[in-house]
Amino acid sequence: MKNAKPKREPAKTASPERFERQMRDLVNYNLDGILVVGLDGVTLFANPAACTLLNRPLASLLDVEIGLPLSGADYTEIEIRHPDGSLATVEMRVHSIEWEGQPAWLADLRDITERRQAQEALRASEEKMRSIFRAAPTGIGVVCNRVLMDVNHRICEMTGYAKEELIGQSARILYPTQEDFDFVGREKYRQIAGAGTGQVETRWRKKDGAVIDILLASTPIDNKDLSKGVTFTALDITERKLAEDALRKSEERHRQISTLMSDYVYYGVAFPDGSTETQWISGAFERITGYTKEEVNQLQGGYSSLVFPEDLQEVIRQYPNLIKNGTLTVEYRLRCKNGEIRWMLDYIQYVK
């Protein structure tokens, strides 16, 4: 059998004395300041919270003009200067009442200084972020469910679209293919799920149809709720990619040339005792000598260990001329890996 809840006794009508005591407690313990002010501006009543808010004892408030703008709107915000010079922002609501048979004003006062300070700090922070958003040389935007919610001026410069043409559009408008769009969504959000942020290289298509290379980095506004939006930065790396591609092609051409040429070119460091450390050498060297660069550097003395000792001494003897003139032409015999002896004509250039 379930426990029956006891029936609540009907509230008894409070005696006048008890009712007055309850009303007095409601006013005295209210956290808002309460003032009753006559139509002549003289204070008729003030609760403890009003004394605290105005930073004045009760005796200094009663029967004196309070100086508050009580007429007019029933709601206003005012600043109150305390005796110590500090300012408090107060929310005041005013109602007309009857007090001891005479018309009067009832003023409810609430200190909102901290709330106003927090709002001002938030406003200043938001203005600062808007300034960065507008002035940043990098493209910055916000997407929600991959729909463009905001973009800065740099995004418009990069893509050729006006801001109004992008806001509210799917980010698909920026990608040359569905495959590019899908890859970014899949890879970026995979990284975000694992590390809280994502970065990927992709391609965007400008309004005029030109395709540019983009380094895209994204971070959620709230890691726990992606529906609140994702902030992204976009850096145009087209020139960098072109330079990297040109360098790669140049290195490949030089590699092919160095492999096919009958002579070989090397770069390294020579020490006073004649030992060397080869840092780079063309492909023809291995074909001629049978040694790789790594094998030569493992030999005691390095490249110089392949040179006949008496020839090496002659090369070392001419080091001062190399340092003085910057170049040196010498002949020497080189022992190949298979034991074959070859005469080499070496054009050496000194690099500081």
* Domain 259-349 CATH superfamily: PAS domain (3.30.450.20)
User: 3-class SS at 37?
Assistant: strand
Domain with CATH 3.30.450.20 in the chain: 16-115, 136-236, 259-349
Say if residue 257's pLDDT is above 70: no
Cβ-in-10-Å burial (0-12, 13-18, 19+) of 281 comes to: buried
- Fold (CATH) for 16-115: Beta-Lactamase (3.30.450)
Tell whether domain 136-236 is in CATH 1.20.120.530.
no
Residue 138, phi then psi, degrees to nearest 5: -100, 145
- How does the average pLDDT of the chain come out, rounded? 85
Q: Which residues pair with 343 in a beta bridge?
A: 333
Cβ-in-10-Å burial (0-12, 13-18, 19+) of 317 comes to: exposed
Cα–Cα separations (whole angstroms), residue 98 to 69, 94, 107, 268: 19, 13, 13, 102
- Report pTM: 0.47
The amino acid at 331: E
Cα–Cα separations (whole angstroms), residue 157 to 154, 163, 248: 5, 10, 29
Tens of pLDDT along 47-95? 999 988 888 889 888 988 888 887 656 788 888 887 777 888 899 999 8
Tens of pLDDT along 273-298? 777 788 878 778 888 899 988 898 89
Contact 34, 49 (CB under 8 A): yes
* Pairwise CA distance, residues 323 & 319, whole Å: 6
Percent pLDDT > 90 in the chain is 37
* Pairwise CA distance, residues 226 & 191, whole Å: 13
